[in-house]
Amino acid sequence: MDVLADVVTAMRTGRSSYGRADVRAPWGLRLTRSTGAAFHLVLQGTCWLLPDGEPPLALGPGDAVLLPRGAPHAVADQPTTSLVDVDLKTSGKADLPPGFDPTGGQGPRSLLLCGTYRLERERPHPLLSTLPDVVHLRASPGGHRTLHTAITLLGEEIDADPPGSRAVVPSLVDAVLVLILRAWLEQQGDHPAHDWSKAMADTAVARSLELIHARPAHPWTVATLAAEVGLSRATFARRFAEAVGEPPLTYLARWRMTTAARLLREDSGPLAGVAQQIGYTSEFAFAKAFKRDFGLAPGAYRRQATAGPETAQP
């Protein structure tokens, strides 16, 4: 079981949106808060990220930035350049504002890919919760090679627009989210904070997460998980809570509901089948637990996820 891939799949609640910004200085784009996680990939040239209330951050070619909570921010050729507003949509293609002339300047050219990933934010996974407001991965020689290879390939596809590019680019954009998260986890090393990198670095905790993700319907207990990874019950419970930030059975309950939400979004089958897949023998008990966590009955959640929030009622 690939836990990172499983988590990203469960966190995604819709299609990514993206827009190509081919600009010449001076230029500045202010992005309002979106319901998704904003991202910027610097394909060519340089620019500045201007997070609200935070110091400007210089970005160079090959840099990747993820703002997991969609905080308001701007990108510009210089921190002092005047800005125009852009609304990062959560579906379809994100376009530059009407009347904005990206080639009107006479300065250096920059090519960016900007957009959003739709991620679950009402009940975020611990991985999402532990990310900083701005995840910045610099293009450094020998570092995060797969991520920067993907960014380079995106730049070539977008700049040249060869046949088949419309099929290649969306797939690469989706892959970049996983590559950014993987690179960020690898970058943490022995960081002492409670975060997902610590969970992945602890082989016993990582193995227990694989078991939970592979078989969420199994009647796991702290004792059975501890036995599977070769630790005493007390040692396992302590190490799991220190690394993940919550006890094993709390995470198990969270993951069952996260899995249920994904199944409801993706599958139109009976609710009883969803309940069974996450370990509930009673559809009523499942519905009660789901509503307690999400504030909606499973059927209403499914309607909201598939037809838009205006059509669903609790």
Identify the pLDDT of residue 100: 58
Say how many CA atoms lie within 13 Å of 26 toward its Cβ. Answer: 7
Q: State residue 305 phi and psi, 5-degree precision.
A: -70, -30
Q: Is the dihedral of CA 90, 95, 99, 104 positive or negative?
A: positive
Identify the pLDDT of residue 31: 83
Q: How do residues 226-235 score in pLDDT, each as one tens digit?
A: 999 999 999 9
Identify the pLDDT of residue 88: 60
Identify the pLDDT of residue 314: 32
- Whole-angstrom distance, CA of residue 280 vs CA of residue 282: 5
- CB within 8 Å of 197: residues ≥ 6 apart: 184, 185, 186, 188, 189, 191
> pLDDT exceeding 70 applies to what percent of the chain?
88
Identify the pLDDT of residue 313: 36
Above 80 in pLDDT, residue 210? Answer: yes
- Whole-angstrom distance, CA of residue 272 vs CA of residue 8: 25
Identify the pLDDT of residue 128: 84
Above 90 in pLDDT, residue 193? Answer: no
Above 90 in pLDDT, residue 49? Answer: yes
Of 38, 16, 18, nearest to 136 by C-alpha is 38
Above 70 in pLDDT, residue 194? Answer: no
Identify the pLDDT of residue 291: 94
- Give the Cβ contact number of residue 103 at 10 Å: 10
pTM here?
0.84
- Specify the pairing of strand 37-44 against strand 109-117: antiparallel
How much is the mean pLDDT over the chain?
86
Calculate the alpha carbon distances from 166 to 157, 169, 172, 205 in Å.
Answer: 9, 6, 11, 40
Above 90 in pLDDT, residue 312? Answer: no
Above 70 in pLDDT, residue 132? Answer: yes
Higher pLDDT residue, 189 or 13?
Answer: 13
> pLDDT exceeding 90 applies to what percent of the chain?
50
- Whole-angstrom distance, CA of residue 242 vs CA of residue 112: 39
Of 96, 93, 90, nearest to 30 by C-alpha is 96
Higher pLDDT residue, 192 or 123?
Answer: 123
Task: Judge whether 312 and 303 are in contact, CB under 8 Å.
Answer: yes
Task: Judge whether 28 and 77 are in contact, CB under 8 Å.
Answer: yes
- Whole-angstrom distance, CA of residue 249 vs CA of residue 182: 25
Place of tokens 């852009």: 86
Above 80 in pLDDT, residue 86? Answer: no
- Whole-angstrom distance, CA of residue 218 vs CA of residue 248: 14
Q: How do residues 53-76 score in pLDDT, each as one tens digit?
A: 899 999 999 999 999 988 889 999
Task: Give the strand order in the sheet containing 47-51.
Answer: 57-59, 47-51, 73-76, 28-31, 84-86
3-state secondary structure of 140: coil
- Whole-angstrom distance, CA of residue 174 vs CA of residue 18: 10
| ∠ Cα 183 175 118 (to 5°) | 100
Averaging pLDDT over each range in 117-126, 137-146, 200-209, 300-309, which range is the top one?
200-209
Above 80 in pLDDT, residue 186? Answer: yes
Q: How do residues 240-293 score in pLDDT, each as one tens digit?
A: 999 898 999 999 999 999 999 999 998 888 999 999 999 999 999 999 999 999
DSSP 170: H
Enter the tokens of residue 44: 């060519």
Above 50 in pLDDT, residue 166? Answer: yes
Q: How sure is the predictor about 101, in pLDDT bands with cuts at 50, 70 and 90?
A: low
- Whole-angstrom distance, CA of residue 6 vs CA of residue 78: 39
Return the minimum-mean-pLDDT range out of 24-33, 175-184, 300-309. Answer: 300-309
Above 70 in pLDDT, residue 98? Answer: no
Domains in the chain: ranges and CATH: 3-188 (2.60.120.280), 202-311 (1.10.10.60)
Q: State residue 180 phi and psi, 5-degree precision.
A: -65, -45
Place of tokens 């990514």: 16
How long a stretch of residues is the chain?
Answer: 314
